[in-house]
Amino acid sequence: MIEALPLTDAAAARPARPRRLRAVLGLLAAHPLLRPVAALLILLLIDAVLLPGFWHLEIKDGHLYGPLIDILNRAAPLMLAALGMSLVIATRGIDVSIGAVVAIAATVAAMAVNAGQPLAVAYAAALGAALLCGAWNGVLVAGLKLQPIIATLILMVAGRGLAQLLADGQILTVYRDDFFVLGGGYLLGLPVSLWAVAVLALATITLLRKTALGLFIQAVGLNPVASRLTGLRTATLIFGTYVFAALCAGLAGLMIASNIRSADANNAGLLLELDAILAVTLGGASLAGGRYNLVGALIGALIIQTLTTTIYSLGVPPEVNMVVKALVVFLLCILQSSELRPMLRSVTDRLTRRGASR
């Protein structure tokens, strides 16, 4: 009779390795950032193939230059808008007045600088105007219980008209060098705008994760009635998200005005709110509220800017960019449909059964 030889440690460990690998792959597949990161990497690889020199970086006068740096710099205002929009959507809201707030902040800052005011005063006036806009939206939504899209639509229309009135229908050109630093300056080799986004994003993420504020916002989005009955000040939380979104939009307006060295009330931030909503959904947030990911929203903004840069670099008409964005929004809305998921599951189960029967 042949006795079974005892397994060595190495042999015993062999079956465990595939299990660990499967577990790791399962965790990666379930990670909320997998899809946006994969989409961004695919876009970057396509650019590397279609656009020679896309990955090229060089240092001039101590500053980094290259297509990747341009994408990061141009995506900075959208990343700010996506940060604020994430929290608004997390509370089952929407803010379509982001672009108007951008125009107001840029116009107020340009007027203050041209009037000879110090840069700090100009920035404070612009951000103060943005905060007032956010408070207006918050009062309408949280206080008067208006539908978010209707409440913010009022400011979307009236806000841009107010900016045009302040600028007297003109493009306000700025000639002060210190005004150009936020949107066109460099710090430690990288654009100042990126540092501003990084500071605000880290501060926001830290505040939401280290305190109960993030959980409260998520609870309001999941079930506002139950949250109110448990003692949460839902109106205050909702009001705060709209104020924060307007603050982010105001800072984005300062960046845009600084970058183009002027304030264009007609075009500054035009349709930025739609790109912000798309960035948030690309990052894995639910339009139904209760689920958000700030890092994912930032990656979504990078995806949109990379896609825009790719289309322009290939010589495709700009109108195609809007069509592509519309298709992406359509697909995202369809995939988040509560009716579609059971249908997809039933189709998958049928295909699996047919394959097993064969």
At 166-207, the pLDDT tens digits run 998 899 998 888 999 998 888 888 899 999 999 999 999 999
56-79 pLDDT, tens digit each? 888 888 788 888 889 999 999 999
Q: How far is CA 206 from CA 1, 200, 202, in A?
A: 66, 10, 6
- Give the helix ranges, DSSP H, for 261-339: 272-282, 294-313, 318-335
CA-CA distance, 141 to 151, in Å (whole number)?
Answer: 6
Q: Is 2 helix (H, G, I), strand (E, B) or coil?
A: coil
Residues 240, 213 contacting (CB under 8 angstroms): no
CA-CA distance, 116 to 126, in Å (whole number)?
Answer: 15
Break the chain down into helix, strand, coil percent, rounded to 5: 70, 5, 25
The answer to whether residue 30 scores a pLDDT higher than 70 is no
Residues 32, 293 contacting (CB under 8 angstroms): yes
Q: Is 51 helix (H, G, I), strand (E, B) or coil?
A: coil
Looking at residue 325, its pLDDT comes to: 72
CA-CA distance, 100 to 106, in Å (whole number)?
Answer: 10
Mean pLDDT of 249-260: 94
Q: Is 227 helix (H, G, I), strand (E, B) or coil?
A: helix
Q: Which residues contact 300 (CB under 8 A, 6 or more apart)?
A: 36, 82, 278, 279, 280, 281, 282, 283
Handedness of CA 264, 267, 273, 275 (dihedral sign): negative
Looking at residue 151, its pLDDT comes to: 93
Residues 284, 33 contacting (CB under 8 angstroms): yes
Mean pLDDT of 286-305: 89
Other CB atoms within 10 Å distance of the CB of residue 49: 8
Looking at residue 107, its pLDDT comes to: 95
82-136 pLDDT, tens digit each? 999 999 999 999 999 999 999 999 999 999 999 989 999 999 999 999 999 999 9
- Please spell the DSSP secondary structure of 179-226, one letter per residue: GGHHHH-EETTEEHHHHHHHHHHHHHHHHHHHSTHHHHHHHHHH-HHH
